[in-house]
Amino acid sequence: MKKWLFPVLLCCLLIISACSSNARLAKKAQKNYEKGNYEIATQEAIRALSKKTDNPKAQELLVQSWQNYSLAQQRKIEKLIRSNETNKWEQIYLEYTSLQNLAEQIQSLPPLINPYTGYKVVIDIPDYAAEMKQSQENAAEAHYQAGILYAKMSNDKDTQKKAALEFKEVLKLIPNYQDAALRYEQSRKLAIKRIAITPFEDKSNTSGIYGAVSDILTDQIVSLLISSAAKSDFVEIIDRTQLEAVMKEQQLTASGLINNEGSFRLGQILGADEILTGRILQINVTPERTVSITSEDETEVVIRTEEYIDEDGITQEREIKGKVFCRYRKFTKTANVSISTSYSILEVETGKIKQQETVEIKNSWSDTWARKISGDDRALSYNIKKLMEKAEPFPPSINEMVKEALKQTGTDIANKLCGYLS
């Protein structure tokens, strides 16, 4: 092949590919236009024209789809203005933002020249900047007024949280809007819920043989809740050191906190709004156990060859097939730990139980291997051969399995509490 021919062919292929891609985009734009998906049709027409600006079909589609989309958006905006929806200005701002973004995409295209007339394609693109700014300010003001209303309504934590969230929406829209930042912080502080997590009482009657189960469970819950609280503006977990110091000073034990009086007293001293108490009810352990079953596999293989004379008198060799068998024992070893735990969330001010639940967690371990008894290995499947190569497995220690089950329990309780607190 001549040296100059390869670049020419490559160039032709690229042009054909670009034209094909352009045609596909224009076709997709047409289909979406016919379905009334004017925004998507406009976007696809823009993409087609960014590849080939003189595509007359894409030019026509862009003009029509943009006109229909902008009219539809204006009708939607007018309907929202007449509505009584509380967040209507925020929705209006988003509609204008969509219009403006699409308008900027059209404006970013090179000049569009109709290949038939030679004239520039004219597209009416209003500037929505003023409408965007006004609707943004209206949305911020609506949230601001709602925040003031909630803030004045009550010092109740839930009401102040609503106020703080309204001011937070203001700041998302306009970061320096009036004194929204100050008002947000004031309401946020009043809305903070302080939670104390007391050590879980161990009622499992396991005499400590699995270690400090109460500490493991409590630490897991506290660790996850502190991590979650760090992402929340409205939750504060009371430091465990502070909690233990007060319990020691007041001569309170985990069992003493199960009754409302002890929890109420501790909560008042700590300035807690709610207290989490709990019990490890049961720790059930099923030590490792091995069961086995004997099986036999069979398959057809070549067992020998023999010579024979074909019809032309020539000596040939043929395979003689037959079934082979292999017996083996398949072993399964298991071990299980299950933990039952209950917890309660007590509201300090009223003594009311806000949430109460029992959590059941099972930590199971199982593994399998096999050993040959007799027969021909060729009868065995690939999976059984792999099991025979495997060394006899051993489960984690019971203490490790209990510890893992306690962590799973802590995670489950912490997730439930995060859902409750949110």
Q: Domain tally for the chain?
A: 3
In this structure, is residue 185 part of a structural domain? yes
pLDDT band at 10 (very low <50, low <70, confident <90, very high): very low
- 247-274: pLDDT as tens digits: 676 665 555 554 556 666 777 777 888 8
The boundaries of the domain holding residue 25 are 15-127
User: Would residue 89 count as lying in a domain?
Assistant: yes
* Domain endpoint, select from 127, 143, 170: 127
Phi, psi of 155 (to 5 degrees): -90, 5
* Domain assignment of residue 208, yes or no: yes
| Stretch among 134-143, 268-277, 401-410 having the lowest mean pLDDT | 268-277
Six-digit token string for 351: 């003594």
Q: Is residue 63 part of a domain?
A: yes
The two structure tokens encoding residue 182:
């100050």
- pLDDT at residue 16 tops 50: no
Average the pLDDT over 292-297 and give the result: 95
- Asked if 297 and 325 touch (Cβ cutoff 8 Å), the reply is yes
Residue 324 lies in a domain: no
Task: Count Cα neighbours of 147 within 13 Å in the Cβ-side half-sphere.
Answer: 28
Q: How many CB atoms lie within 10 A of CB 215?
A: 13
The whole-number average pLDDT for the span 197-216 is 89
Whether 364 maps to a domain, the answer reads no
Residues 113 and 60 in one domain: yes
Which residue, 169, 191, 213, sits at the end of a domain? 191
Q: What is the pLDDT of residues 217-250, one digit of tens each?
A: 999 998 898 888 777 889 988 877 777 777 676 6
Give pLDDT tens digits for 181-206. Answer: 999 999 999 999 988 888 898 999 98
What is residue 131's predicted lDDT score, i.e. its pLDDT?
A: 92
Nearest to 389 by CA among 406, 376, 377, 379: 377
The per-type count for the chain, helices as H runs and strands as E runs, is 12, 6
Same domain, 107 and 118: yes
Give the model confidence (pLDDT) of 65-100 as tens digits. 999 999 999 999 999 999 998 889 999 999 999 999
| 155 and 209 inside one domain | no
Q: Is the same domain home to 185 and 214?
A: no
Q: Is 230 exposed, middle or buried (0-12, 13-18, 19+ CB in 10 A)?
A: exposed
Structural domain includes residue 409:
no
Residues 28 and 114 in one domain: yes
> Which of 21 and 303 is assigned the larger pLDDT?
303
What pLDDT is recorded for position 353? Answer: 87
**Is 0.95 surpassed by the pTM of this model?**
no
86 and 175 in a common domain: no
Amino acid at 398: I
3-class state of residue 232 by DSSP? coil
Are 98 and 174 members of one domain? no
The string of pLDDT tens digits covering residues 154-164 is 999 999 999 99
- What mean pLDDT do residues 297-303 have? 89
Are 37 and 117 within one domain? yes
Encoding tokens for residue 174?
A: 């306009």
270 and 226 inside one domain: yes
Question: Do the domain assignments include residue 8?
Answer: no
Q: Does residue 76 share a domain with residue 22?
A: yes
The torsion defined by the Cα of 132, 135, 136 and 142, in degrees rounded to 10, comes to 180
pLDDT band at residue 396, thresholds of 50, 70 and 90? very high
Structure confidence at residue 21 (pLDDT): 62
- Considering the chain, what percentage of its residues have pLDDT values greater than 90? 55
Q: Which of residues 191, 222, 247 is at a domain's end?
A: 191
Say if residue 26 is in the same domain as residue 75. Answer: yes
Q: Average per-residue pLDDT in the chain? A: 87
How far out from the chain centre does Cα 70 lie? 35
Greater pLDDT, 51 or 260: 51
Nearest to 199 by CA among 241, 165, 149: 241
- Does the structure show a pLDDT above 90 at 116? no
109 and 19 co-located in one domain: yes
